[in-house]
């Protein structure tokens, strides 16, 4: 028993932070979130600067190696991503062998990613170089998997990756079968970049807890996907679109939200466990939403969203409830023609470099995670034979 810690107690007798809220799990150089001030940076660089000047591939490098790449370094990194884009035939067969209408897209993603390790001869090697290579392999292949999952759900043949497009552009090409407009390609790159890392969130913690037992890179990333699948983590942007469709019209937006507030109903896309100010990622996507909805002819969704935002901030802003990244990402992706069921797999596609980077960081100074429970069950209970129960 740990000295000074009561590990056997009555229910509610010992106070502790549920969900490990605010507890420190390890040191990290990857990203920092200041929720009180609405600040996010990757390796010290504010997210606004990265969104304006960087690319998803460059951010992947930054998170993995703690520095912006030189031109030759980025070219070499991009080449590695390009060579790993295609997925095994077995992975395609696995995706297309799933029941298209009953399989949750995140379940499909989880299963498909698991197959990748079967075709990586060094997947069980516990060396920094093998782990790094597996991580790059996953970053490169997740867009191909997500696009294949999307097309299989529509009864369409897969579109194989090309080597002449950036990652985000290539994803949209594989998803639709057509080259995307420059605006849509840029916005998809921004969406992935904004989701690349976000401190010690549930899925990242799950991934590093898995790798702390020296489990392989693929298993650890699958663990992250499993955590992200939960509706309290991923999927909020999908529910934003359900809410907008339920509201239906611009004129109905304000009365709908006022009624929901009066009934203390949770409004999708608002509030965050860390942010008590405006999520900077939401502000960035709000700007792009204007151009995307104009090009797509879906201005109605943005008008509704802006009314909801105004009412929510007016009524609940003092309580620290502001839009989060999900509020505008759903509107943007739906306007680009992406089915809402694919929003969370796209979230995973963007977050995988964060998971990989934290896994590598954990393994460089590893100690297996072994927290404790407070036992609140009975003690000294004798076994009762079956015929006496």
pLDDT given at position 35: 86
> Across residues 236-248, what is the average pLDDT?
87
Residue 155 zone, left/alpha/beta (φ > 0; ψ -120 to 50; rest): left
pLDDT at 125: 95
The share of the chain scoring above pLDDT 90, in percent, equals: 80
Among candidate residues 354, 375, 219, 247, the one with its CA nearest the CA of residue 311:
247
Mean pLDDT within 41-47 = 98
Contact 34, 146 (CB under 8 A): no
Separation of first and last alpha carbons in the chain: 33
Q: What value does the mean pLDDT take over residues 52-65?
A: 98
Q: Which of 48-57, 234-243, 296-305 has the least mean pLDDT? A: 234-243
3-state SS of the chain is CCCCCCCECCCCCCCCCHHHCCCCCCCCCCEEEECCCCEEEECCEEHHHHHHHCCHHHHHHHHHHCCCCCHHHHHHHHHHHHHCCCCCHHHHHHHHCCCCCCCCHHHHHHHHHHHHHHHCCCCCCCCHHHHHHHHHHHHHHHHHHHHHHHHHHCCCCCCCCCCCCCHHHHHHHHHHCCCCCHHHHHHHHHHHHHCCCCCCCHHHHHHHHHHCCCCCHHHHHHHHHHHHHCCCCCCHHHHHHHHHHHHCCHHHHHHHHHHHHHCCCCCCCECCCCCCCCCHHHHHHHHHHHHHHHHHCCHHHHHHHHHHHHHHHHHHHHHCCCECHHHHHHHHHHHCCCCHHHHHHHHHHHHHHHHHHHHHHHHHCCCCCCCCCCECCCCCCCCCCHHHC
The answer to whether residue 230 scores a pLDDT higher than 80 is yes
Judged against a pLDDT cut of 70, whether residue 2 lies above it is answered with: no
Which of the two residues, 278 and 2, has the higher pLDDT score?
278
Tokens of 114: 């698991």
Tokens for 296, please give them: 């797509």
Is 0.95 surpassed by the pTM of this model? no
pLDDT digits (tens, 9 = 90+) for 85-139: 999 999 999 999 999 778 999 999 999 999 999 999 999 999 999 999 999 999 9
Domains (range + CATH), the chain: 31-231+341-364 (1.10.580.10), 236-335 (1.10.230.10)
Residue 171's Cβ-count burial label (10 Å; 0-12, 13-18, 19+) is buried
Q: What is the pLDDT of residues 252-275, one digit of tens each?
A: 999 999 999 999 888 888 877 787
Token output for 104 = 């949750």
Is pLDDT of 318 > 90?
no
- Cα distances from 246 to residues 289, 306, 310, in angstroms, run 20, 16, 19
Answer yes or no: 195 catalytic.
no
Give the pLDDT band (50/70/90) at residue 4: low
Joined tokens for residue 181: 């407009």
- Average pLDDT score, the chain: 93
For the ranges 180-184, 312-316, 322-326, 367-371, the lowest mean pLDDT is seen at 322-326
Q: CB of 350 within 8 A of CB of 194?
A: yes
**Whether pLDDT at 308 is above 70:** yes
Please work out, in degrees rounded to the nearest 5, the angle formed at the alpha carbon of residue 4 by the alpha carbons of 2 and 9.
80
Give the model confidence (pLDDT) of 135-187 as tens digits. Answer: 999 999 999 999 999 999 999 999 999 999 999 999 999 999 999 999 999 99
Once rounded to an integer, what is the mean pLDDT over residues 31-58? Answer: 96
Q: Are 166 and 185 in contact (CB under 8 A)?
A: yes
- Residue 20: predicted pLDDT: 84
Establish whether 291 is a catalytic residue.
no
The residue assigned the tokens 């700007």 is: 287
pLDDT at 283 over 60: yes
Grade residue 248 by pLDDT with cuts at 50, 70 and 90.
very high
Q: Which residues pair with 353 in a beta bridge?
A: none
Catalytic residue among 195, 198, 216, 272: 272
The one catalytic residue in 120, 189, 216, 326 is 326
pLDDT digits (tens, 9 = 90+) for 338-363: 999 999 999 999 999 999 999 999 99
Residue 3's pLDDT is what?
56
Predicted pLDDT of residue 1:
43
Query: Average pLDDT in the 39-68 region?
Result: 98
* Proportion of the chain above pLDDT 70, given as a percent: 99
């Amino acid at each position: 028993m740990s000295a000074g810690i009561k590990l056997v107690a009555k229910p509610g007798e010992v106070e502790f932070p549920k969900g490990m809220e605010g507890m420190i799990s390890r040191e990290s150089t990857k990203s920092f979130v200041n929720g009180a001030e609405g600040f996010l940076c990757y390796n010290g660089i504010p997210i606004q600067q990265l969104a304006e000047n960087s690319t998803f591939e460059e951010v992947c490098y930054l998170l993995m190696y703690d520095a912006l790449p030189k031109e030759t370094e980025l070219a070499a990194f991009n080449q590695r991503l390009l060579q790993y884009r295609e997925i095994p035939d077995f992975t395609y067969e696995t995706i297309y062998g799933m029941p298209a209408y009953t399989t949750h897209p995140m379940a499909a993603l989880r299963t498909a990613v698991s197959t990748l390790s079967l075709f990586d001869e060094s997947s069980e090697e516990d060396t920094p170089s093998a782990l790094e290579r597996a991580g790059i392999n996953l970053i490169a292949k997740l867009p191909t998997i997500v696009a294949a999952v999307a097309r299989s759900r529509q009864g369409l043949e897969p579109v194989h990756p090309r080597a002449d497009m950036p990652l985000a552009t290539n994803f949209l090409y594989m998803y639709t079968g057509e080259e995307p407009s420059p605006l849509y390609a840029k916005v998809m790159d921004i969406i992935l970049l904004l989701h690349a890392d976000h401190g010690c969130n549930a899925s990242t913690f799950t991934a590093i807890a898995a790798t702390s037992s020296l489990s392989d890179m693929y298993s650890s990333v699958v663990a992250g996907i499993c955590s992200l699948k939960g509706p309290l983590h991923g999927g909020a942007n999908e529910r934003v679109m359900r809410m907008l469709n339920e509201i239906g019209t611009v004129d109905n937006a304000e009365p709908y939200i006022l009624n929901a507030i009066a009934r203390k109903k949770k409004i999708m896309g608002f509030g965050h466990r860390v942010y008590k100010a405006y999520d900077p990622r939401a502000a960035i996507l709000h700007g792009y939403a204007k151009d995307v909805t104009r090009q797509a002819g879906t201005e109605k969704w943005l008008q509704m969203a802006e009314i909801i935002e105004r009412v929510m901030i007016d009524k609940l802003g003092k309580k620290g409830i502001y839009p989060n990244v999900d509020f505008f990402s759903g509107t943007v992706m739906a306007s680009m023609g992406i089915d809402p069921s694919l929003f969370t797999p796209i979230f995973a596609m963007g977050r995988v470099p964060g998971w990989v980077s934290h896994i590598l960081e954990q393994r460089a100074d590893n100690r297996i995670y072994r927290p404790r429970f407070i036992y609140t069950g009975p003690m000294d209970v004798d076994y009762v034979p079956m015929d006496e129960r």
